[in-house]
Amino acid sequence: MDTFLKTSEDIREQIWKELGRATHDRHHAWRTPVLATATEGGGVNGVNARTVVLRGAQAKHQLLEIYTDQRSSKVAELSAQPNACLVFWSPRLHWQLRVQAEWSIQTTGAEVASRWQAVRQTKSAGDYMTYLAPGASLPQGEGDGEGEGNLQGAGLAPVAKAVEENYFAILQARVIEIDWLELGREQHRRAKWVGEAWQWLSP
């Protein structure tokens, strides 16, 4: 940061400003955080992590939003265990955020319908209208390298067959805790917010 932020309130305000910018600035590093969820039944490692796109940030209500396919693994995992973590890193700011949140899943209603109307006008609409769920195995003969000059056959493009209905969903995170780490040139700083309470931590 060009300006050294001294107080917890200044830092917290700047965090939410950057999160807000990331929702509309495609080049902001915080636009694509990593979401880590607990796997169903614990799994082999007990955790699943993937990059997601930040779609909404409401400082007043301490809410973050992402979009997803209703059939994705993160929906099933958040349904079973709604507490999950988002990790953000910004090379420009030298800031890392670890955000613990309680998640809710919205698949119907006026808000979902309104967001879908906007999304369906973009190239991203097809992501929520494929006949195969995310992570599903491709049918035999697709993606196996068969067929000269066939990019899909060579496994270089996903199955894009569309269906009439959509599987669009909004995942909303109510922020419970923010762990902030600044990697400064002369010193590192770390702080944690839980609700309105905060404390400085050892980096």
- Give per-residue pLDDT as tens, 129-149: 988 889 888 877 555 555 444
What percentage of the chain reaches a pLDDT higher than 90? 69
pLDDT reported for residue 149: 41
- Give per-residue pLDDT as tens, 28-71: 999 999 999 998 765 567 899 999 999 999 999 999 999 999 99
Q: Which of 12, 22, 4, 1 is nearest to 88 (CA)?
A: 22
The model's pTM: 0.86
CATH topology of domain 8-130+161-201: Pnp Oxidase; Chain A (2.30.110)
What percentage of the chain reaches a pLDDT higher than 70? 84
- In this prediction, residue 151 has a pLDDT band, given cuts at 50, 70 and 90, of very low
Domain chopping of the chain, boundaries: 8-130+161-201
Does residue 80 carry a pLDDT above 80? yes
The answer to whether residues 152 and 142 touch, using CB atoms and an 8 Å cutoff, is yes
Mean pLDDT (the chain) is: 88
